Chains A and B, each alone.
Chain A
Amino acid sequence: MKKAISIHVNGTTHTVNVDPSTPLLYVLRNQLELNGPKYGCGLQQCGACMVLIDGKAQPSCMYPVSAVKEQKITTLEGLGKEGKLHPVQEAFVSEQAAQCGYCLNGMVMSAVSLLSDNPHPDDDEIREGLHRNLCRCGTHSRIIKAVKRASL
Chain B
Amino acid sequence: MLKTNRREFLKTSGCLVIGFSIGNISSGQNSFIPQELPQSIRRYPDINAWIEVLANGKVRVFTGKAELGQGIRTAIAQVAAEELELSMENVEVVLADTLRTPNEGYTVGSGSIEQSAMAVRYASAAAKMKLLELASDKLKVPVDELVTTNGKVYTKNGRNPITFSEILDGKQISGQVKEPVKLKAKSEYRLSGKPVPREDIGWMVRAHQNYLHDLRFPGMVHARVVRPPVYGAKLKTFDAGYVKKKVPGVLKTVNDGNFLAVIATDEYEAMRAQKVLGQSATWTEAAKVPATEKDLKEYILKLPVETDRVQEKGKITSEEFTHTATYFKPYIMHGSTGPSCSVAIWHNEKLHIWSHSQGIYPLREAIAQMLQMPADKIEITGVPGSGCYGHNGADDVAAEAAIIAMAYPGKHVRLQWSREEEHGWEPYGSAMVVKVGATLDATGKILYWKYDLWSDSHSSRPGGRAENLLPARYIKKMFTSSSKGYIGGATRNSEPYYSIPNQQVNANFFRGPLRVSALRSLGAYGNIFALESFMDELADNAKKDPFDFRLMHLTDQRAKDVVQKLGEMVSNVKPGDGEGLGIAFSRYKNSASYCTVAALVHVDTTAKTLRLKKMWSAIDAGEVINTDGLKNQTEGGMIQAASWTLKEHVKFDGTNISSTDWGTYPILRFSETPEVEVEIIPRQNEEVMGAGEAAQGPAGAAIVNAIFRACGKRIRDLPVKLFQD
Question: Residues of A at under 8 Å CB distance from B?
Answer: 1-2, 18-19, 21-23, 26, 29-30, 33-36, 38-43, 45-46, 48, 75-77, 85, 89, 92-93, 96-105, 108, 126-128, 130-131, 133-142, 144
Contact = CB atoms under 8 A, between A and B. Distances in A.
B207 A96 contact: no
Contacts of A100: 68-69, 337, 384-387
A76 B207 contact: yes
A85 B669 contact: no
A101 B356 CA distance: 14
Nearest to B205: A89
A75 B69 contact: no
B238 to A, nearest CB: 23
A140 B667 CA distance: 13
B337 A92 contact: no
Contacts of B389: 136
B70 interface: yes
Given A99-B633, A142-B635, A108 B338 contact: no
Contact of B636 (A41, A45, A126, A138): A138
State the main secondary structure of chain A at its contact with B: loop
Given A26-B267, A36-B207, 16 more contacts: A1-B248, A22-B266, A38-B213, A46-B419, A76-B206, A92-B204, A93-B202, A96-B632, A98-B201, A101-B69, A101-B204, A127-B671, A130-B670, A134-B667, A136-B387, A141-B676
A19 B336 contact: no
A56 B375 CA distance: 50
Contacts of B269: 19
Interface of B: 68-71, 197-198, 200-202, 204-211, 213-214, 216, 248, 266-269, 335-339, 384-387, 389, 416, 418-419, 628, 632-633, 635-640, 642-643, 661-663, 667-671, 673-676
A46 B684 CA distance: 40
A141 B207 contact: no
23 contacts: A29-B267, A30-B267, A39-B416, A45-B663, A75-B207, A76-B207, A93-B197, A93-B205, A97-B201, A99-B387, A99-B636, A100-B386, A101-B200, A104-B205, A108-B205, A127-B670, A127-B671, A134-B662, A139-B635, A139-B639, A140-B639, A141-B635, A141-B674
Contacts of A46: 337, 419, 662
B207 A137 contact: no
Nearest to B669: A131
Nearest to B356: A100
A60 to B, nearest CB: 13
Contacts of A2: 248
A90 to B, nearest CB: 8
Contacts of B638: 138
A141 B201 contact: no
B675 A137 contact: no
A30 B207 CA distance: 14
Contact of A141 (B335, B419, B669, B675): B675
A93 to B, nearest CB: 6
A59 to B, nearest CB: 12
Contacts of B674: 141
A89 B198 contact: no
